[in-house]
Structure 1
Amino acid sequence: MNLDYLYQTGRLILRPYKSADLFPHLEAVTESLPELSQWLEWCGEGYNQHDANAWLTTSRVNWRSDICYELAIFDRFDNTFIGSVSLYDLQATSNSANVGYWIRSRYHRQGIASEAIKVICRLAFLSLELTRLDIVVHPNNIASQRTAMSCGARYEGLLRNKIMMRGIPMDGQLYSIIPSDTELIQEKLTFNS
């Protein structure tokens, strides 16, 4: 899919990562380590410029290869990097994907993750024509569970040993979104060139 994808909401800009996002991404991760490292295996105390560069490079390669679609999230008014939302683990047999997201700590509790998930739903359902999205959340991550429910996802149950966290299998709460769960404008997304 085209790396020139760009989507705007009333307060956000979402687009694929660019090389120029290296230091804003690193700064946001570093600022948010205490919160993020509890739930995201890739995010640990040693996260550095090399890791951030690998993240951005992999994100762009995955996008070009139609493996994973990750969008960097920015404040529309001051262009501050806020976080990421992604479609990953795309499954042709079930026409589905997983949704992942993280938001910079100082932007928590503002509905930004829910807003970004609604954008990724548009990409998934209208452009990629997927028919199901899964959100798998650690049972103790109450904030992410609330985010899933606030964007229209439905709770489906507890999945045993679904999440690997630092080599340890953990249970995961499963939420799903299908096209009829969302209030989407029925038009294809457009791309800036």
Structure 2
Amino acid sequence: MSREPILIDLPSELRGPRVLVRPYRPGDGAALQEAVSLSREHLKPWMPWADAHTTVDESEALVRRFDARWRLREDLGVGIWDIETGRYLGGSGLHRIDWDVRRFEIGYWIRADAAGKGYVTEAAGLLCQLAFGPLEANRVLIRCATENRRSAAIPIRLGFLYEGTHRNEGRRTDGLLFDMEVYGMTADRWRQLATAEGMAPGESQSGQAPAASNSPDSP
């Protein structure tokens, strides 16, 4: 693999049984703005940007910045789409990238009316397959607020290991500090799980999906 990230070829989309995960494209702003506007109260406890996206133009400008950062391999933000209906469900991605170490962090959020249906588990599993496959990741991590148990269920379900809790790591939108749990997956563990299960971990999972992880790189 090239040591120049911008030269790394990436798939245009990732498909699971129910979701399609792909980089944002110009024109996705309206779908993003609608999903956030209908989910503000659902997202506010964890996402500092929940009050943003007040207009389609604002969301469209952000979508185009996501597209630019994807092309430069600075950040690999993606949208989650329902394969059957084509509806936009939420956002995820590989963030906080260290190309030297090959370390990535998965963040995610889901619109309120799609929560609890396993979409995020499936999307996060697809991103792990991308990370530990074509991107040759050595480590992928997921961070979740201690109080956000639905979010923490995702890495646990995918076989990530709990690595510790960082105290007073973030601040909620109501001003209160919160602790952050860290879950990690290494390349060796991912391969072991894949061998044991006969597939990539999470490939056929359909458990409960969380409202959001606490990655600040979400939209």
Aligned to 2:217: none
Aligned to 2:148: 141
- Answering whether residue 183 of structure 2 is matched by residue 175 of structure 1, we say yes
Aligned to 2:4: none
Post-superposition Cα deviations, 1:107-143, rounded to whole Å, max 9, x if no partner, equal 1111111100011101111111111111111111111
State how 1:1-193 maps to structure 2 within 5 Å: 1=8, 5-44=12-51, 47-165=54-172, 170-179=178-187, 180-181=189-190, 182-183=193-194, 184=199
Relative to structure 1, the CA distance from residue 6 to residue 93 in structure 2 (aligned partners, 3 Å threshold; closer, same or farther) is closer
1: CA distance between counterparts of 2:23 and 2:169? 28
Q: Note the aligned Cα RMSD (angstroms).
A: 2.1
Give structure 2 stretches of 5+ with no counterpart.
1-7, 201-219
Higher relative contact order (CA 8 A, sep 6+): 2
Post-superposition Cα deviations, 1:21-41, rounded to whole Å, max 9, x if no partner, equal 111111111111111121111
Give structure 1 stretches of 5+ with no counterpart.
186-193
Q: Which amino acid letter does the alignment assign opposite residue 156 of structure 1?
A: E
Give the conservation status (yes or no) of the 8 Å contact 2:37–2:53. no
Instruction: State the percentage of identical aligned residues.
Output: 25
1: CA distance between counterparts of 2:50 and 2:160? 25
2: CA distance between counterparts of 1:93 and 1:47? 37
**Alignment: residue pair count:** 185
- Runs of 4+ that moved beyond 4 A: 1-4, 164-169
Superposition TM-score, scaled by structure 1 size = 0.86
Q: Which amino acid letter does the alignment assign opposite residue 127 of structure 1?
A: P
Relative to structure 1, the CA distance from residue 4 to residue 92 in structure 2 (aligned partners, 3 Å threshold; closer, same or farther) is closer
Give the conservation status (yes or no) of the 8 Å contact 1:96–1:131. yes
